[in-house]
Amino acid sequence: MMHANHAMNSAAHYEEHDVDPTKATILRHLWEASRETGPWSLAKLSKRTNVPMSTLLRTLAEFEAAGIVDMSTEADGRSFASLNAIGVEIYPSLFNTQ
Q: Please check the confidence at residue 22 and state whether its pLDDT lies above 90.
A: yes
DSSP type of residue 75? T
pLDDT single digits (tens) 26-78: 999 999 999 988 799 999 999 999 999 999 999 999 999 999 999 999 999 99
Residue pair 84/69 in contact by the 8 Å Cβ criterion:
yes
The lowest-confidence range among 4-8, 14-18, 44-48, 73-77 is: 4-8
Q: Which domains does the chain have, with CATH numbers?
A: 21-95 (1.10.10.10)
Helix (H/G/I), strand (E/B), else coil: 71:
strand
The amino acid at residue 38 is: G
pLDDT tier for residue 1 given thresholds of 50, 70 and 90: very low
Alpha carbon distance 40, 29 (integer Å): 9
